[in-house]
Amino acid sequence: MPRCTRKSKRQRRVFWRVYLHGIVLLIAVTVGVGFANKVLLGAYTPPFADAQRLAAYVDSELTPLLDDETALQEKVTRIKHIFEVETAVYRAGATEPLAEAGAEVPPALDAVPDKPFMKGDFRRHMFAIPLREGRAYVVGYVQWKHNPTRWILIPGVVLLVLALVSLPMARAVTRPVERITRAARALGRGDLSARTGVRDRRDELGELARTFDEMAARLERIVESEKELLANVSH
């Protein structure tokens, strides 16, 4: 009984090799996708994702123009075109913007925010920035930019990783099968000396190759014995 158990375990080595190879493939794909996303492409950061830097810029550019609506509108429009943000400037307590730029005008807030903030999801971020002395504030949207290169490089990296990791496993499985196939064809053509040459495997394929070699050796001995018998009879 113990002998049968050891043989059963030995014959399942190809199964475990394929199983472990699948786990390695999964890990390799995960690492490859992470590499493509963070190293090759970089994590996307919307313009002025840092609320403090955005606040400093807006405060310095817009606060001096609060009493000049024409200049304020020109500056807000310029900011929109340069940084691709939809922006509106409101006075404290007002519902109509002093200046606005963008396809969608950000709505007024219930109160002037105490400090700059930014929040949002994968599509866009909303930011609000109080201007100097709380006289007014800026509210706007920052749209996420979808990089089409991401959807080309990531599948490419995944396919490359799969190809590189799968190659050793494919060769490990197909090489003994090819040898067994060549030996079987040679034996079928009458070459009784044909052998697989697979000696170093201790799995199902190695067992198959050794069984074939033993069969071919027995067949060769039988044929040689018949030839000797016929030769002796003829003399």
pLDDT tens by residue, 147-193:
666 667 777 777 787 778 778 877 877 888 889 999 999 998 989 89
More confident residue, 235 or 195: 195
Domain boundaries, the chain: 2-35+150-234, 51-143
Report pLDDT digits (tens) over 63-115.
899 889 999 999 999 888 877 788 999 999 899 999 999 888 889 998 888 88
Determine the residue type at 132. R
Radius of gyration of the chain (CA): 38
Q: For residue 33, what is the enclosing H or E element?
A: helix 13-35
Residue 156 is encoded by which pair of tokens?
């490419």
- State pTM to two decimals: 0.46
Percent of the chain topping pLDDT 70: 80
Determine the residue type at 165. V
| Domain 51-143 indexed as CATH 1.10.4030 | no
